[in-house]
A and B are shown apart, each in its own frame.
Chain A
Amino acid sequence: MDWVTIISTTVKAAVGVETVLYALAAIGINVHFGYTGLLNFGQAAFMAVAGYGLAVTVTVLGLPFWVGIGVGLLAAVLLAVILGIPTLRLRADYLAIVTIAAAEIIRLIFRSVAFKDVFGGSDGQRGFSEGFYALNPFPEGDYGFGWFTFNNRVTWVLFVGWILIALSCLIVYLLMKSPWGRVLKAIREDEDAVRALGKNVFSYKMQSLILGGVIGALGGFIYGLAFASVQPDIFGTETTFFAYTIVILGGAARVLGPVVGSMIFWVLLVLVNGILSGAVEAGYLPFMAPTQVGPVRFLLVGIGLILLLVYRPQGIFGDKREIAIDAR
């Protein structure tokens, strides 16, 4: 087994592209679920409309990169408004049902044969990221130190990605310290009490849905730009559930929870994957085929998460005192 490779890829995963894009998606979910109590099960759709908004604007319409970013953000805001208007006046569970269905509808539209000319069917779209890499200030070559060494393209993506994470965390931190965030947290506890105190609950829930959706959309951009392509099946329901897992792992309603959660989640996945593949290759696990490594790593990480929920339900950063209080 090549331990050096296993360890170095694992360490790289702590700051890698997946960590960045899932951290952004999870920061959005944390705003929705952690702070406001909104069960948005369609975060993948916010990422998808952003990624495709950028891709289609640049490749199909031939417009510049920045216009694509604008279209992607606008699409995320619109999606939040469209999902929110019918469901935010109803009980929390309705939002969950509608968002999970809407996310699947959007994914199926993107991969449909009827719109193949626009969205590219199941192959998706590619060739829209030149505008982004044209802005790359890092000349050709490798950057970083030790195991954290990346080529100039990846360095540029990670540089922008971590700036976006830092900005998102700063905004969430400022907001949740403010009276605005107080209203959100109060809505999570009991909407009717907040209404009785003269706050427009619907408006706040909508603002929360838009904010979290837009932060999730940044994750969609990072995906599209890092891999220079978007495919519909990347934005399936499991993407949303990974984001939820990350939020709970890190600790819900904690500013840095999703970031650390995402780092741990991907480090674990990559580490388990590396060890299993190495062991199978070296013949230590004769009962396993190399193709079984992928599913088994999720299984093992899943067991780990269940143990975490049993022994540390508040996540890494959570407050045990808070969890002990019954929600009502």
Chain B
Amino acid sequence: MKKIIAMLLVLSMALALAACGGSAAPAATEAPKADAPAATSAPAAPAADGKVTVTMIAAQYGPKTGDWWVDFEQKFEAANDGIDLVVDCVSWNDIYTVVNTRIANGQAPDLLNIDVFADYQADGLLLPAEDWCSAETYAKFYQAFLDQSVVDGVVWAVPDLASARAMYYNKDILAEAGVEVPTTWEELTAACKTIKEKCPDIYPWGIDMTTDEGQAAFAYYTWGNGGGFVDDNGEWILNCAENVAAVEYAVGLVKDGLTNSDPANNTRYDLQDLFCAGKLAMMIAPNALSAQAGEAGVNYGFAAIPNNSGTSVSAGVMDRIMCFDNGQSAEQMAAITAVVDAFYDDEPYSEWVLMEGFLPATSAGGEACAAADPAMGAWIDIVGSAKFYPTAKAEWADVKQGVIDVEQQALLGEDVQTLLDNLQAEIAG
């Protein structure tokens, strides 16, 4: 009898497991059909209590991001009785995997806050911004920011925040070495040599050519030499003469011993730590370094990135909010628009941007942030004139990894011209 009971238990367990497997596993890789993405994704369905549900995945920028979104959800739902807002705050480490898995499962969120959009747009998963962003909110964005999310003349995402880069320098080290803040490459090289000579324990210049952010180094030097990723027509110009000279210049600084010891492995965060420890004289960094350096008691200043073309260009980085085409009804679209309007309302939006320590993407937000923090004003001017990575182009992921690889191979002694020629051929054909 005991045996029969035991076997029945085993059988029931097996059946239960089989049932679990049967429903969950195959669904995990079912892809929406290419021609009908709307039909296979989960729409913003009416909740059981008759409310319209809006789902959102938000990137976690810092330790307070999750709590801020919980508070926003509560306030929004209190003010909008018929809408159930569900925000999942996901860390940057996991967000791409989470989003891709949800898309593959046919459970794309209604709204997504992330940095890239071109891959989702290329698969026909997104709705144009004007379909879900009210005219009032749309008018708030800096035009230069909106331009970064245009494909085929359509804006597919709106900016949520930005950061810009400038050259930070340690005033005490520069004073000890008796050098002025460099504005050109020539002055930079001379300043680095003097610092190395007079302060041998200090790294004069910080360069990050790691997998983390090596593309930023490529941008700083090529933009500062009149080159860049694309020309005015948006065509890839990775192997242009200006880019070759720029990479050779940056690698030359490393080979002359004027930089941190291992640019292929020292990330920007490592460099920021060195800067705050007073071991690095100058580096290019985002505005977030101000707070870190201030706390560390470093006597710092920031200035335009030194260049070789007569025009200093700051590198801008921008994140976005986009809306997935989940076959939403008019009522659901109105709910999504209400969420977006509430987020970009001047007061909560400024509070959010200041909390995260980034730069606002709306003019009203910019004014509010500048009023709240005078140091922010200079940064808002910098970001207004910044250049951005060509993230709207479908090849961007390959270009990004490609230029990092070029830099790292150049550090190992390979020929820059050949490397960039190969990359250009691989990307542009």
Q: Do A and B bind each other?
A: no
Point out residues on B near A: beta carbons under 8 Å: none
Query: Which residues of A come within 8 Å of B, CB atoms?
Result: none
